[in-house]
Amino acid sequence: MMDAAASDPVAMGWMAGSPPPAATQVRWDDGSMWRFPQYRWGFSHMRELVPTAAIPRAGDVSPLPLALRDELDDVTLTTLAGQAMSWRQSLAATYTDAILVLHHGRVVYERWFGVTRPDTQHILFSVTKSFVGLAAEMLIAAGKLTDDAKAANYVPELQGSGLGNATVRQILDMRTGLAFSEDYVAGQQGLSDVQRMSIAGAWMPRLAGYDGPDGHFAFVASLGQDVPHGGDFVYRTPNTTALQWLVERVSGLPLAALIRDWFWQPMGMEADAAIAVDRLGTAFGGGGLMASLRDIARVGEMMRLGGRWNGRQIVPQAVVARIFRGGDPAAFAHVNYPGNPDGSYASQWWHRAGGQAMALGVHGQGIYVDRAAGVVIARLGSHPVASNRGNMGVTIPAYDALVAALG
Amino acid sequence: MMDAAASDPVAMGWMAGSPPPAATQVRWDDGSMWRFPQYRWGFSHMRELVPTAAIPRAGDVSPLPLALRDELDDVTLTTLAGQAMSWRQSLAATYTDAILVLHHGRVVYERWFGVTRPDTQHILFSVTKSFVGLAAEMLIAAGKLTDDAKAANYVPELQGSGLGNATVRQILDMRTGLAFSEDYVAGQQGLSDVQRMSIAGAWMPRLAGYDGPDGHFAFVASLGQDVPHGGDFVYRTPNTTALQWLVERVSGLPLAALIRDWFWQPMGMEADAAIAVDRLGTAFGGGGLMASLRDIARVGEMMRLGGRWNGRQIVPQAVVARIFRGGDPAAFAHVNYPGNPDGSYASQWWHRAGGQAMALGVHGQGIYVDRAAGVVIARLGSHPVASNRGNMGVTIPAYDALVAALG
């Protein structure tokens, strides 16, 4: 596998020229946007490849004061595989596209690699889910959704489907028995579940053999149930699609408008965001948000500050407390995530035993909030392995070393 | 044909609901985005239907001070067809989506209809061409393009195609003999030239029978020549594509980055813009720009002020003078445009005999600059007729009446 320097998207020359020569093209219709190292360019240019709904910013930008400490480059750490490296080396080892560290609200570290810039709308993948989770918890806090109510109570179209009789809480915590395999490297014959979901959502073209539904919501309504709901945590993206459906139905807001009105505009974000939409205009709440590094750092900081940012209570304190409480480690233990032995997953956020909350996207996106240390880390990435298992063996010890150094 | 009130996109309920019911969907893949009245929603949501490149704003917003004069609603006019109406009625008669009038730099009138809001990125169609024209004139002024040089001098890929031996000036002024018919309502068998261009540019799905090139640049390079260059003005969008190709090649900037760096960021725009891209990431310089009403008003005001805006010389004064000089009315006379008997077309801008300059987009987009009167009018629209012939019989007398009233 090419390392970060060899796969640098500027050096590779992706999409350079008018028009770009065939060998340098990164495209939706031939699937090249999903290939490494092409996607080291593509993840920063996803909106040029798929339709998106706008999430416009507004008003004055909320400040992120600078107190840079470039010596953090030299912080040393040992990866879970036992390799010694510096913080700076850890960024290359994890194919980091951009990273920002806040300590007690000040930017102590910020780096840009490859094709990223402060206004790049980088795909966040499953970090998107954590916004849907916040929205659902906010609706629960407002009494508009109820933990124990069944999904079909709110969205009758789910009646009879795998998730119709799952509760809001089971879906929020991904403890459902949905018949869906989140396998990004499926080798079996025919289309994988993830491919089918991607085709339904226009994330990929309609491949031969696809006879499934059209649109994210129709896709989740087409899924059955394998095992009883309420068992162990199993990560399955269509849970988030169902949750998004409940959130949109109950709030009356399409997800893009909700993120605009509840987060982007009141938080004084500095860049517009965007979210991928299917052929019916439905946002991909499971993974389609595209936003700037500094703006996702603001989300982390808002969470660190108990939901308060830019002079407003963005998220109720009780919701933030709920996120930081995490879920049931016993339901999570079987997944055996590198660097997170006693953690959990709840409300579409990841939780470490040390009390840290994380929003994580495949290929290395992340918002990491350590309230005890006063540290927030925002990260964009394009790791060749389509799983955070590919980088958490480095990032978690790196974060712990950085927090110790900031001490 | 439904009138403006009957076809109001809010009343029609397009794309409302999670997901929107089939009868209310406006889609790319079934062509409904190109149908009236669906496009009264679609023109304000084009980026949800096709991939786009970002044109981000930056920094402080340049002010547009208010001095509203709501009594302008009652200005009376007589259309070229002899119908008496008020200014306000003229807006409905032309299916206006939003309009803003500046008088000596102050907003004297602003109205929003249907689904538009101040941050709506409305498709501008051929107003886009006027940005490409400004860029080309700026490169001429900088000595990087030469009026009399052949297109193939700059873009060797055009050698042997219809436009390879056309000069920069002939292309700028649309006085080429390119083999292409700009007919939006073609009735002949097979695909029309406009359909073929739209398919090449991913503006439409690949329809049965399409065996043409992929991408805007490959499309223009595939066109032949009908008659000698240098004859009368004939409006053909691929001229702009070729011009964009020259501009990108000579400047080294893809069009989205050029508009960002030369216009959007230095001008202190208030909203991000976007531009539709083909499957290779090439922007549609012939008609793909999406921007907010107030930001295109800023462009008009910058032109009125001799290229100066937000404390900077955005466009050299000599270029602005060139635009306002217009072209050769004799080459224009045959087109017999309603309301513009002695006008011309030059540098991708329209010109009236009274000295006004106009950027015009099909279905009623426009930037109208009357320097003598100190008036700038920015307009978004979704007129059912795919030609400005459909609305200029109303808009031109309306503009003249408004200018007289502001007097």
pLDDT tens digits for range A188-216: 568 899 999 999 999 999 888 899 999 99
42-81 in chain B: CB under 8 A from chain A: 45, 47-54, 56, 58
pLDDT at residue B185 greater than cutoff 80: no
A218 touches chain B (CB under 8 A): yes
pLDDT of residue B186: 62
Catalytic residues of B: 126
Banded pLDDT at B208 (limits 50, 70, 90): confident
pLDDT of residue A208: 83
Q: Average pLDDT, stretch B381-401?
A: 93
What is the percentage of chain B residues whose pLDDT exceeds 90?
Answer: 93
pLDDT of residue A258: 98
Express each pLDDT in B30-59 by its tens digit.
999 999 999 999 999 999 999 999 999 999
In the sheet with A375-381, reading across from the earlier edge strand, the strands are A106-112, A96-103, A375-381, A365-370, A357-361, A349-351, A344-346
Q: Average pLDDT, stretch B313-335?
A: 96
pLDDT at residue B26 greater than cutoff 90: yes
Per domain, the residue ranges of chain B are: 9-42, 70-126+287-406
- What the block records as the tokens of B219 is 């499309």
Cβ–Cβ below 8 Å for A18 and B54 = no
Cβ–Cβ below 8 Å for B279 and A245 = no
Distance from CA of A63 to the nearest CA of B (A): 13
Banded pLDDT at A186 (limits 50, 70, 90): low
Homologous superfamily of the A70-139+252-406 domain (CATH): DD-peptidase/beta-lactamase superfamily (3.40.710.10)
Express each pLDDT in B329-357 by its tens digit.
999 999 988 889 899 999 999 999 999 99
Banded pLDDT at B187 (limits 50, 70, 90): low
- What the block records as the tokens of B362 is 């099909």
Among the listed ranges A45-54, A134-143, A179-188, B111-120, which one has the minimum average pLDDT value?
A: A179-188
Q: In 3D, which of A291, A310, A260 has the Cα closest to residue A62?
A: A310
Considering the candidates A62, A126, A344, A347, report the single residue annotated as catalytic. Answer: A126
pLDDT of residue B207: 86
B201 touches chain A (CB under 8 A): no
138-177 in chain B: CB under 8 A from chain A: none
Cβ–Cβ below 8 Å for A272 and B54 = yes
pLDDT of residue A15: 97
pLDDT at residue B143 greater than cutoff 90: yes
Q: Average pLDDT, stretch A52-58?
A: 97
- The C-alpha angle B245, B162, B125, rounded to 5 degrees, equals 50
pLDDT of residue B209: 83
Q: Among A15, A53, A282, select the one facing B281 at the smallest CB separation.
A: A15
DSSP state of B231: S
Cβ–Cβ below 8 Å for A47 and B58 = no
Q: Average pLDDT, stretch B307-332?
A: 97
Cβ–Cβ below 8 Å for B19 and A50 = no
Q: Among A48, A279, A280, select the one facing B52 at the smallest CB separation.
A: A48
Which residues are CB-neighbours of A332 under 8 A, at least 6 positions away? A232, A233, A343, A344, A345
Banded pLDDT at B388 (limits 50, 70, 90): confident
- What the block records as the tokens of B72 is 């302008």
Q: Among A26, A47, A216, select the one facing B54 at the smallest CB separation.
A: A47
- Write out chain A residues lying below 8 Å of B27, CB-based: 279-280
Cβ–Cβ below 8 Å for B119 and A49 = no
Is the ipTM, as predicted for this complex, more than 0.90? yes
Between A191 and A110, name the one with better pLDDT: A110
Banded pLDDT at A387 (limits 50, 70, 90): confident
pLDDT at residue B240 greater than cutoff 80: yes
Cβ–Cβ below 8 Å for B47 and A58 = no
Cβ–Cβ below 8 Å for A48 and B277 = yes
- Write out chain A residues lying below 8 Å of B50, CB-based: 51
B29 touches chain A (CB under 8 A): yes
Residue of A nearest to B156 (CA): A18
Q: What is the interface size between A and B, counted as CB pairs within 8 Å?
A: 97
pLDDT of residue A1: 86
Homologous superfamily of the B70-126+287-406 domain (CATH): DD-peptidase/beta-lactamase superfamily (3.40.710.10)
pLDDT at residue B299 greater than cutoff 90: yes
Banded pLDDT at A187 (limits 50, 70, 90): low
User: Are residues B128 and B275 in contact, defined by beta-carbon separation less than 8 angstroms?
Assistant: yes
pLDDT of residue B57: 97
DSSP state of B225: B
pLDDT at residue A272 greater than cutoff 70: yes
* List of E strands, B259-298: 273-276, 289-291
pLDDT of residue B183: 84
Each residue of A76-103: b (16+ CB within 10 Å) or e? ebebeeeeebbbbbbbebbbbbbbbbbb
- Write out chain B residues lying below 8 Å of A18, CB-based: 217, 245, 248-249, 254, 282
Q: Residue B127 belongs to what H/E stretch?
A: helix B127-141
Cβ–Cβ below 8 Å for B18 and A245 = yes
pLDDT at residue A313 greater than cutoff 70: yes
The mean of the pLDDT values for chain B is 96
Best mutation target, B280, B284, B292, B295, to test chain A (most A CBs within 10 A): B280
262-301 in chain B: CB under 8 A from chain A: 271-272, 274, 277, 279-282
Banded pLDDT at B384 (limits 50, 70, 90): very high
Banded pLDDT at A337 (limits 50, 70, 90): confident
pLDDT of residue A330: 96
User: Are residues A245 and A280 in contact, defined by beta-carbon separation less than 8 angstroms?
Assistant: no
Banded pLDDT at B71 (limits 50, 70, 90): very high
pLDDT at residue A244 greater than cutoff 80: yes
Cβ–Cβ below 8 Å for B48 and A281 = yes
Distance from CA of A397 to the nearest CA of B (A): 36
DSSP state of A275: E
Q: How many helices (H) and strands (E) does chain A have?
A: 14, 15
The three state secondary structure string of A116-147 is CCCCCCEECCCHHHHHHHHHHHHHHHCCCCCC
